[in-house]
Structure formats: C-alpha cells, structure tokens
Amino acid sequence: MVAATERRSEWPLALCTLCGLAGLIVLTFYNWRNGILIFSGSVLLAGLLRAVLSDDVAGLLHVRGRMFDTALLLGVGAAILLLGLIVPNG
C-alpha cells in the first residue's frame, strides 16, 4: 500500500475531465459552439491549475516540467477557443 505522503491528489484532473465531458455533451446534443467554449475552458482550467498547484497536488496534470505543462495546456486551450470563435456557423 502506498503511504499517504506518496499519494498524488487526483482532484485537479477529475475536475478538468468532468468539465471537458460536460463540454462534449453540450457539443453533441445542443449547441456546438457553446460545447467548444466549455471544452476549451476545461483545458484552460487545467493549465491554470498546473501553474498554481505544486507538483504533488497537481497529480496527473504533472507530466513534464511546470513551464512546459502550463504552456502546452494554455496554448492548446487558447487555440481551441480561438478556432471555436472564428469558425462561422454553417
């Protein structure tokens, strides 16, 4: 059994995953643009949580270094947000 000091907290990943899942549900069944905005918000939230939380508390959001993880998540979240905003309605 893993000691309590060695366990990683997984609530940041669970929170971001649930927000992303909510965005995918909205995207699928309701309005695609609102779903994309919610999904991109979940990726941006993951980036902000990775920037703010320590390595132990970040859990599985901690993959590489803090700067790399934060830059990647914020960059991908911003790209999804930008694409969701500029794609015209069909």
Q: Model-level pTM? A: 0.85
Cβ atoms of 12 and 46 closer than 8 Å: yes
More confident: 27 or 61: 27
Task: Tell me: pLDDT of 54 over 90.
Answer: no
Task: Tell me: pLDDT of 4 over 80.
Answer: no
* Interacting residues of 53 by C-beta distance below 8 A, sequence separation 6+: 12, 61
pLDDT digit string, tens, across residues 63-76: 888 899 999 999 99
Cβ atoms of 51 and 61 closer than 8 Å: no
Structure tokens given for 65: 């270094």
Cβ atoms of 61 and 69 closer than 8 Å: yes
Distance CA 14, CA 74 (A): 18
Cβ atoms of 39 and 27 closer than 8 Å: yes
Distance CA 54, CA 38 (A): 25
Mean pLDDT of the chain: 88
Structure tokens given for 46: 């993951």
